[in-house]
Chain A
Amino acid sequence: MTFDFGVIVDALPFLIQGLGLSFLLTILAASGGIVLAVVLALMRLSGYRSLSLISAAYVNFFRSMPLILVIFWFFFLVPLIIGRPVGGFYSALIAFTLFEAAYYSEIIRAGIQSVSRGQIAAGYATGLTYAQTMRFIVLPQAFRNMTPVLLTQGIVLFQDTSLVYVVALRDFMTATTIVARNEGRLIEMYVFAAAVYFVICFAGSLYVRRLQRKHGR
């Protein structure tokens, strides 16, 4: 068994392109997912039974689905429903955003609930509306409290993006596989992929831990 890591060097530009797509997908899906998740969390805590039920149904629905199945749904069937193509990347982006929103919303709900009720009461007492109370008092504190958990979920999302492999979208994982098979160098390429993912995710989790210590939590 001979190892040839030169193959990685040769394919580096191609692999970096793939990694770029993985990051882009992560960042966009995380941003979109968090925005949607805030809406879902506020619906859940709104006190309106119907809104709360819709939000709960959404969250529980997506939390019981495997991500691969969600990706299949969006890749093959959504363009049929809306009657026009959205492109592979956007299909994946929509799938990840909707899927991750379900997980983020549970985190954000917990974050909002972690803000003491006295603060909300104080907000109302000073004449702020519900929206203003949320916007200026509750959400900023909630986000501060839950930043580490949100980041951790972001790392999970980054790992999850590797699943676009099943629809041949050219992220880091797919790029690695293409090189591995073209060059007949599976061992080197998959060990390399594991190392790259590990370094990125481990560094991310170390950063989260530092953040947690700084916040004294």
Chain B
Amino acid sequence: MEYNWDWGVLFREPYFGWIIDGIGWTVTVSIAAWIIAFTIGSVVGVARTVPVRWVRSAATVYVELFRNIPLLVQLFLWYFVLPEVLPREWGLWMKREMPLPEVTTAIIGLGFYTASRVAEQVRSGIEAIPRGQSMAGYATGLTTVQLYRHILVPVAYRLIVPPLTSEFLTIFKNSSLALTIGVLETTARSRQITEFTFQGFEAFTAATVIYIVITLTVTAFMTVVDERAKIPGFITGGR
């Protein structure tokens, strides 16, 4: 194999700056999308368990819709299609006035997609709680809202920390899809360095190491969270 190794390329300007920049966007897009995913996912997940039929149906439609269309297609729908079907002014706003159009679109697309997966975890967490707890709640005179607020939701979240960790990790990996709409995150930057320097091995290795470090960091952080969140003596897992 003919190949001129040059690991120094990764630390030369502008390439070093590109990598740092790429990490910045990967983290920004992922964290921001996670906030959306967690918020919407929680609402939809709870909605899938409430004793009101139409709310449950609406939540189910959301989950099935966002789970059964590939993320790439969803991103393209948000990016290429939505601005064109909206009234012209709104579409123009999305494309021009909205701060960082591509990044924002990626965050929204990734957030709404991941929300459907978070919703499923929240639902399974709530369903894993023994019925006795709900009954006990109602018996002490709690309303349904109070029951969710004080018993079901807090317990469910403490149960589903492990599967949520895995979703949180997935969002970092999935943020690489943002490159398809022009966001220069880590993977895009490594490909760009390959184009400019032809040092593909070095560039892709750098990206690989970055994702592994992100995974290890997030896993370590979430292990601490899980330890704190664990309910002593509660055996039923979230899954």
A66 touches B77 (CB 8 A): no
Residues of B within 8 Å of A72, CB to CB, are 187, 190-191, 204
Cβ–Cβ < 8 Å partners of B67 in chain A: 201, 205
Q: Which of B47-55, B92-100, B208-216 contacts A (4 or more CB under 8 A)?
A: B208-216
Complex Cα distance, B194 from A12, in Å, reads 36
Contact of A197 with B73 at beta-carbon distance under 8 Å, contacts A69-B190, A69-B211, A166-B179 already known: yes
Asked if A80 contacts B187 (CB within 8 A), the reply is no
Which residue of B has the minimal Cβ distance to A180? B80
B180 / chain A contacts, CB cutoff of 8 Å: 165-166
How near does chain A come to B129, taking the closest CB pair, in angstroms?
20
Q: Which listed residue, A73, A77, A198, A205, touches B69 by the CB 8 Å rule? A: A198
> Which chain B residue lies CB-closest to A166?
B180
Number of chain B residues whose Cβ lies closer than 8 Å to a Cβ of chain A: 41
A60 to B191, CA, bound (A): 23
Q: Is B71 an interface residue (CB 8 A)?
A: yes
Mark each residue of chain B from 136 to 172: 1 if its CB lies under 8 Å from any CB of chain A, else 0. Answer: 0000000000000000000000000000000001001
B76 touches A190 (CB 8 A): yes
Identify the closest chain A residue to B2 (Cβ).
A80
The answer to whether A159 and B70 touch (CB under 8 A), given A77-B204, A165-B180, is: yes
| Chain A residues with CB under 8 A of B106 | none
From B64, B187, B215, B216, contact of A69 by CB (8 A): B187
**B 75-97 to A, binary, CB cutoff 8 A, 1 in contact else 0:** 01100110011000000000000
Whether B69 pairs with A197 at a CB distance below 8 angstroms is: yes
Known: A197-B69, A205-B68. A76 touches B84 (CB 8 A): no
Q: How far is the CB of B41 from chain A (nearest CB, A)?
A: 18
A67, CB-defined interface residue at 8 Å: yes
A66 touches B176 (CB 8 A): yes
Q: How far is the CA of A197 from the CA of B73 in the complex (A)?
A: 9
**Known A66-B187, A69-B190, A191-B81; contact A173-B208, beta-carbon cutoff 8 A:** no
Whole-angstrom distance between the Cβ of B166 and the nearest chain A Cβ: 9
A63 to B84, CA, bound (A): 37
Which of A76, A162, A186 touches B81 (beta carbons < 8 Å)? Answer: A186
Residue in B65, B72, B179, B200 whose beta carbon sits within 8 Å of that of A198 in the complex = B65
CB distance from A121 to the nearest CB of B (A): 25
Whether B104 sits at the interface, judged by CB under 8 Å, is no
CA distance A187 to B80 in the complex (A): 7
B28 contacts the other chain (Cβ, under 8 Å)?
no
Establish whether residues A68 and B177, one from each chain, have CB atoms under 8 Å apart when the complex forms: yes
Please report whether the interface of chain A is mostly helix, strand, loop or mixed according to DSSP.
helix
Are B73 and A66 in contact, with the CB atoms below 8 A?
Answer: no
B68 touches A69 (CB 8 A): no
B56 close to A (CB within 8 Å):
no
A115 contacts chain B at the CB level, 8 A cutoff: no
Quick check: is A125 within 8 A (CB to CB) of the other chain? no
Known pairs A80-B1, A194-B77; A68 contacts B187 (CB<8 A): yes
B137 to A: closest C-beta gap in Å: 29
Within 8 A of A (CB), among B199-221: 200-201, 204, 207-208, 211-212, 214-216
User: At the interface, yes or no: B134 with Cβ under 8 Å from chain A?
Assistant: no
Residues of A within 8 A of B64 (CB): 202, 205
The answer to whether residues A77 and B81 also contact, given A72-B191, A197-B69, A198-B68 and a CB cut-off of 8 A, is: no
Q: Is A9 an interface residue (CB 8 A)?
A: no
User: Which residues of B line the A interface, CB within 8 A?
Assistant: 1, 3, 64-65, 67-74, 76-77, 80-81, 84-85, 169, 172-177, 179-180, 187, 190-191, 194, 200-201, 204, 207-208, 211-212, 214-216
Interface residues of A (CB under 8 A from B): 1, 60-61, 63-69, 72-73, 76-77, 80-81, 83, 155, 159-160, 162-163, 165-166, 173, 186-187, 190-191, 193-194, 197-198, 201-202, 205
30 A–B contacts, CB within 8 A, in A order: A1-B85, A63-B169, A64-B169, A64-B214, A64-B216, A65-B211, A66-B172, A66-B176, A66-B211, A67-B176, A68-B179, A69-B207, A72-B204, A73-B204, A77-B204, A80-B1, A80-B200, A163-B72, A173-B70, A173-B72, A173-B73, A187-B80, A187-B85, A190-B76, A190-B81, A194-B69, A194-B74, A194-B77, A198-B65, A205-B67
